[in-house]
Chain A
């Protein structure tokens, strides 16, 4: 333990000395060029993953718009709006979901940018809300018995105006590929805290929340987005 602490101390000292040298260099030039290099503004964009999946997967179509606004050096307020249509072809039932969602929250950029750069490694938190319809098309009866094996029952029923609410944790990376044009990739971990459960059925998919799980309230997702920064002022 003591050994580790000692070595940590030395690493720290080394790092600090480097840092000081670096900082001095910056200070020398601070007055002429880099005083106002942090762009503040509204960034608008769209998710590329959902339309791409829509092309390859005939059971899914979706689109998402995203927007964020830089509040402080590290904090952004952020929101997404999208709509999904998802068909669930399970081994024992066929159903579909259609609806839209809205997510609002904030992002925290943990990345220390070099001067003049606007990249981000960020974590975010969202409140998500969805309204959707569920359609149950057909299902089999689980009998577990060969005398009267389960047969497909075609019994279409629609559950309209369902809602769901969740919180979402986001981890992502944004990088400026051209001036003011950003590519981003993110992973989303969602926890549903409220939903309208259709009578004698369940929400198999919730737009924005994605696939639900019978045994937990967790959901996962990812995004691959392109966005454009409309600069408003520099700081």
Chain B
């Protein structure tokens, strides 16, 4: 009896000695991306693809493309975790030969840093999301609607863009 207890205790010591909480694994929920769906301005219920869409943001005077000339009806884009504002250039019809039509969208929000675990430390969630479309002569975006002003996961659509 005593031997059994001692050996099982030693076994557990051995097992718990190597812990998995030192490594931040890929599947750990991280800072959520902003989920945007594109829908038709004529029929607001219908998803509508944007042809040759390029999504660009400027970080430290450097243009970073998140999507390059892709035709799709939804995108997931990160928000800046160090600032309450992120600007995006949404370029429709951008191919190797044509520049396309650029619309500038600004997202404003509040940030909360939430503890995850020892290895991954913290993630950011965003709340009170506001959008601003820069009005110009030929916007391809008709309207932007916020479906969810709290961005804490990537399960729901946060923003719908009608075009």
Question: Which A residues contact B (CB, under 8 angstroms)?
Answer: 88, 90-93, 110, 123, 139-145, 147-148, 150-151, 153, 155, 169, 171, 187, 189, 200-202, 204, 213-216, 218-220
Contact = CB atoms under 8 A, between A and B. Distances in A.
B42 interface: no
Nearest to A219: B16
A171 B5 CA distance: 10
Contact of A171 (B10, B19, B33): B10
Contacts of A142: 24, 28, 30-31, 116, 120-123
Interface stretch (B77-85, B95-103, B127-135): B77-85
Interface of B: 2, 5-6, 9-10, 12-13, 16-17, 19-22, 24, 26, 28, 30-31, 33, 57, 59, 64, 66, 78-82, 113-124
B5 A123 contact: yes
B155 to A, nearest CB: 16
B6 A200 contact: no
A153 B113 contact: yes
Nearest to B15: A218
Contacts of B26: 144
B81 A141 contact: yes
Given A92-B122, A145-B33, A155-B113, 14 more contacts: A91-B119, A92-B120, A141-B81, A143-B123, A147-B64, A147-B78, A200-B114, A213-B16, A213-B21, A215-B19, A218-B12, A218-B16, A220-B13, A220-B17
Contact of A123 (B2, B20, B66, B82): B2
Interface class of chain B by DSSP: mixed
A147 B122 contact: no
20 contacts: A90-B118, A93-B122, A123-B5, A139-B121, A141-B31, A142-B116, A142-B121, A143-B31, A143-B78, A148-B81, A148-B82, A150-B31, A169-B9, A189-B9, A189-B12, A201-B115, A202-B118, A214-B19, A215-B21, A216-B16
A91 B9 CA distance: 30
Contacts of A213: 16, 19, 21
A151 B124 CA distance: 11
Contacts of A204: 118
A187 B11 CA distance: 12
Nearest to A200: B115
B124 A141 contact: yes
Contacts of A189: 9, 12-13
A151 B10 contact: no
A142 to B, nearest CB: 4
A43 B109 CA distance: 63
Contacts of A216: 16
B30 A151 contact: no
B57 A147 contact: yes
B121 A140 contact: yes
Contact of B122 (A140, A145, A214, A220): A140
Given A141-B121, A142-B116, A204-B118, A110 B2 contact: yes
Given A147-B57, A218-B12, A141 B113 contact: yes
A214 B117 contact: yes
